[in-house]
Chain A
Amino acid sequence: MIFNIPFIAVAGLILIGLYALIFKRNLIKMVIGITLIESGVNLFLITLGYRENSIAPIYTSSPGGIMALPVPQALTLTSIVIGVAVLALMLSLVIHIYRHYGTLDVRKIRRLKE
């Protein structure tokens, strides 16, 4: 792979996600940040199993040659499913927060502090 581009993309995605999570004040943007980190980790797992010029790991009537590793793909599928559940839960919580507080700004959502 040229210049390990997928791994650079992984680092980029995770760093952008962390930036959004730490510096953004809007709850939706924080949720997007978490999703970005998750995509970064998923891309990392997929990249681990990929070999150059490889084919899908299906043995029946395979033309031969290198096969991609199937385990990281299985892990990624599991991780995506979990990620969807977490995302749905987070967004539903954001809806409830908006109903109670009338805002999505984290600086104004601090009833727990007093």
Chain B
Amino acid sequence: MIPTPPDYTPALIVAIPLLGAFLTPLVSRINDKLRNIFVLAILGITGILVFLLAYNIFIYGGIHTYVFGAKDLSLPVVRILFEVDAMSVFMAAIAIILSGVAVIYSWAFMKENTGLDKFYTLVLLMVAGTLGMVLTGDMFNFFVFLEITSIASCALIAFWTHKGESVEAAFKYIVISSIGALFVLFAIGIFYAQYNALNIAVIASSLQYTFLDKVALVLLIAALAMKAGIVPMHMWLPDSYGRAPAPVTVMLVGATLGSLYGVLRVTFTLYGNTLELVVKEIFNSKILVTNTIGWSILVLAICSIIIGVMMALRQTDFKRLISFAAVAEIGYMFLGIGTKLASVGYNSTGTIIHPQHGITALEGGIFHIFNDALDVGLLFLVAGAIYYATKERSLDKLGGLARNMKYTTIFFIIGMLAVAGMPPFNGFASKLLIYESTYAANPIIAIMAVLSSIMLLAVFVKVLHSVFLGPALPKFKGVKEVPKSMLFAMGILATIIIMFGLFPDMVITYIVEPATDALINYNGYITSALGGI
């Protein structure tokens, strides 16, 4: 019997990593091994709490709210509250899985570095920031956690300060993310000026869609999409993903998906109420605002997919290549979101209808968030393992490593097939949902998405050939398989990939559908915070 989590679980989920972060330097003074165990224990406790909450929400439904500084929901307008629905807890599970894997991986990977107490402090801060971003129900709180995540991840990207490239990538990242966060803050100021509230539910319930709200919508979507790495704003992503240490890259994937969650929350909850009401008449045909936004997102998503794959084809740096593939994967998620927004229409009597293919598209997009985190995360870990074993990152100089590193090769093949959407793995299930539903919306988009997916496979087959196959190179003769902890970390991700790939029906029914329903149901989100006002 799994116990019901107490009311204050959402607060604990953020507070425990935050406390652990600042205790880490103290524990580190005693013993390095103790510190590693301590960090993993902190993440383990947080993980148990996340999964308790997730189990409760996915089985019994409903929304957990926790109000800071009050026993109940009195005065929800002025209180900071955490509001956890199925979508939030879905993202929290992704973040905690990725960070747990990253910490296990860094035991061996970061062993030879100095300053590891700071490394683990920043890792725990980043976890706290990402979890806070997805659990909070308050716009300003979201901004604060966004900044915590940015600062911690920027410091982690620049962790190898003896390399100029890392510092350069980190500077790019901090410029992009601080501007993004400032625009988010500006949008929050606009909301506060009009509605006297910072609470997402309160703002959503009183949103009028004035001119200022349009400005705020553009600012929020542009800033958060920039942090999520969609194409015209993707330039920072290959740099920082490519130059950060491999475990940090895996956590960065989680932080990036946190920003993607921000886009989802803004479009479906904050503006969910108003976007469908507003109708514009152009040439005697009614165009909903949600369709305009949906089609803009669709165009950007297709650009992301195609440019990501094209750029991945010509990369010679292993991690940079995977980063461009990650850009393409982000495009697939936005494809699902865009199709949902673009598919909302009206029937002959003028009532708004939500076609089934739109909801399927959103389900595919949300499922793909989890799959992308697992697949791309696994590939980055493999690239890190290759770098650990050979100290070489260029694809031209690598070769024949399958002889020395057979487990890593197997993990790479699993990750490669999963990213490209081949049947027995998880990428297939979510991509199939996206293809089907976008085909119903517009066949050309679906065809481009399928073709890009095939090219993605071509990209990774090239990598497989040049890194793992081919003749044994004399300089890699002494290369050994990576330590067991790194293999174990990769094994966790590979196991989840295979489980998701074998039982996609169960995952969709028990996890993805509740998350999608929670995201679409903005009325539920509003009433659970305001108590049915």
Chain A residues at the B interface, C-beta cutoff of 8 Å: 14, 21, 27, 30, 34, 37-38, 41, 44-45, 48, 71-72, 75, 78-79, 82, 85-86, 89-90, 93-94, 96-97, 100-101, 109-112
Contact = CB atoms under 8 A, between A and B. Distances in A.
B243 interface: yes
B194 to A, nearest CB: 10
A75 B171 contact: no
A69 B174 CA distance: 32
A41 B189 contact: yes
Contact of A27 (B150, B171, B186): B171
A100 to B, nearest CB: 3
B193 interface: yes
Interface in B30-78: 78
Interface in B112-142: 140
A14 B186 CA distance: 10
Contacts of A89: 151, 154-155, 174
B147 interface: yes
Contacts of B179: 21, 34, 37
**What does DSSP make chain B's interface, helix, strand, loop or mixed?**
helix
B161 interface: yes
B386 interface: no
10 contacts: A21-B175, A30-B175, A37-B179, A38-B178, A48-B189, A71-B192, A82-B144, A82-B151, A90-B174, A97-B167
Given A21-B179, A89-B151, A97 B168 contact: yes
Interface in B210-259: 239, 242-243
B165 interface: yes
Given A37-B179, A89-B174, A90-B171, A97 B164 contact: yes
A86 B178 contact: yes
B186 A109 contact: no
B170 interface: yes
A79 B185 contact: yes
A38 B174 CA distance: 14
B186 A41 contact: yes
Contacts of A21: 175, 179
B192 A48 contact: yes
A78 B144 contact: yes
Contact of A101 (B147, B164, B182): B164
A112 B243 CA distance: 9
Contact of A45 (B151, B164, B189): B189
Using C-beta atoms within 8 Å of the partner chain, give the interface range for chain B. Answer: 20 to 34
Contacts of B150: 86
Contacts of A71: 78, 192, 198
B161 A96 contact: yes
Contacts of B147: 82, 85-86
Contacts of A101: 164, 168
A100 B167 contact: yes
Contact of B165 (A75, A82, A93, A112): A112
Contacts of A27: 171
Given A41-B185, A86-B147, A112-B239, A75 B140 contact: yes
**What does DSSP make chain A's interface, helix, strand, loop or mixed?**
helix
Contacts of A109: 168
Contacts of A14: 186
B168 A111 contact: yes
B164 A111 contact: yes
Nearest to B158: A93
Given A21-B175, A112-B239, A93 B167 contact: yes
Given A44-B189, A93-B170, 7 more contacts: A38-B178, A41-B189, A72-B189, A72-B192, A97-B167, A100-B163, A112-B243
Nearest to A72: B192
A71 B191 CA distance: 13
B312 to A, nearest CB: 16
A72 B185 CA distance: 11
A51 B239 CA distance: 46
A78 B138 CA distance: 15
A96 B174 CA distance: 14
A111 B164 CA distance: 8
Interface string B190-217: 0011000010000000000000000000
B300 to A, nearest CB: 21
A96 B167 contact: yes
Interface in B54-110: 78
Contacts of B264: none
B169 interface: yes
Contacts of B165: 111-112
A75 B186 CA distance: 11
Contacts of A96: 158, 161, 164, 167
Nearest to B194: A48
B241 to A, nearest CB: 11
Contacts of A86: 147, 150-151, 174, 178
Nearest to A112: B239
A86 B179 CA distance: 11
Nearest to A90: B174
B168 A112 contact: yes
A38 B158 CA distance: 23
A73 to B, nearest CB: 12
A111 B185 CA distance: 33
Residue with the greatest number of chain B CB neighbours at <10 A, chosen from A48, A72, A89: A89
A109 B172 CA distance: 11
Interface in B15-34: none
Contacts of A110: 168
Contact of A34 (B178, B188, B239): B178
A48 B193 contact: yes
A27 B174 CA distance: 12
B197 to A, nearest CB: 10
A33 to B, nearest CB: 9
A71 B139 CA distance: 13
